[in-house]
Amino acid sequence: MANPNKVKGTQWESDVRNYLNETLGLVDEYGKFLDPFDACNVRRPAQEGAADVGDVHCVPFVLECKNVKSPAVPTFLRQAHVEARHAGFPYGVAVVKVARLNVRRGKVHFGISTWTRVRQALGMSSRIFADRYAFTASLRGLDTGKWYMTTELEDFALLVRDLRAIRHAR
């Protein structure tokens, strides 16, 4: 019998991938890619062992997906940043399931430096960026390594769409 926690984690990764592909308009009504060769399709890559490349790739983000009772967000973010580097992606974020809520209500956590770099790529002020994508701050203690910004997967999908539009316009 498979490890039940592994099964839950894999299901969450698949739910996140499927939600983003559907929301970003990358699949048809049957969940099939409109263009299987499109680099912007959201995918679950094969695990790479010591050089893990993250749970879900949503260009330009690597998503570290977690389905746990007690989230350790700063630890998840450190893991996401390492895996983004391994995968050659500029941004790593953590996506944490919220018990008994729809996938679109999953929490997407950004480290402060990642949040700032994405905001700058979009050319937005902090206030406009936070308001547009419904970010809230978690500023715990004096250690900025434990600070992060959080939004929901639904708002993250909008952010991805906007960031991709700007990147393709260049």
CATH of the domain at 115: 3.10.310
94: its two tokens: 């953590």
* Domain membership of residue 121 as a residue range: 4-169
Cross-strand partners of 63: 56, 93
pLDDT above 60 for 133: yes
Half-sphere exposure of 101 (CA within 13 A, CB side): 13
Neighbouring residues of 58: CB distance < 8 A, sequence distance ≥ 6: 20, 42, 160
Are 110 and 149 in contact, with CB atoms under 8 Å apart? yes
Does pTM top 0.85 for this prediction?
A: yes
Q: What is the pLDDT of residues 40-56, one digit of tens each?
A: 999 999 876 678 899 99
Answer yes or no: is pLDDT of 77 > 80: yes
The count of domains in the chain is: 1
Residue 95 has pLDDT above 80, yes or no: yes
Residue-level pLDDT at 66: 96
Is residue 140 predicted with pLDDT exceeding 80?
no
pLDDT at 4: 81
Q: Is the pLDDT of residue 27 over 70?
A: yes
DSSP assigned state of 106: -
